Amino acid sequence: MPPRQPSRSIRPLVGIAGSRGLIAFFAVVRLTLSAEKPNPAQQIAEIIHTLGGDLGEQIIGHGYERFQSFYSCIFLFVLINNLLGLIPGIAAPTVSPWVPLGLAVPTFLFYNYQGIRAQERSAMQSNFADRSGGWPGCCSH
């Protein structure tokens, strides 16, 4: 019987630990909010919010505020889990193809749902039905 690989058996636990750590962090921030005397956790959360807001404003432009929580959650999830993967003997959960796929599918659906809401349905569908025969945005024959 071959020995078990420790990184395979602990990988799901690392992802769960990363998610629980994020939830615990933001629960602490929410419970200890103070305008007069912010604690270090609140200051870290404000830095993340400011950096994410600046990035969203540059990339998305007007109306980025609606999407800031979504892309901030994805950013923090990937960052925390990859940082946990730096611990010797523990593989990052994003090594498995299912984790990026689990982030990509809801992002794709969310992006297209927001696009359909903002535009006409026919304008959004024309992005998928490129009449030149190639993939949208790619060189065609």
Reported pTM? 0.62
pLDDT for 22: 77
- 74: pLDDT strictly greater than 80: yes
- 64: pLDDT strictly greater than 60: yes
Mean pLDDT of all residues belonging to the chain: 75
Angle, in degrees to the nearest 10, between helices 68-84 and 40-59: 120
Hey, what long-range contacts does 74-82 have (CB within 8 A, 24 or more apart)?
A: 74/103, 74/107, 76/22, 76/48, 77/18, 77/19, 77/22, 77/103, 78/103, 80/18, 80/21, 80/22, 81/14, 81/15, 81/18
For range 93-104, the mean pLDDT: 85
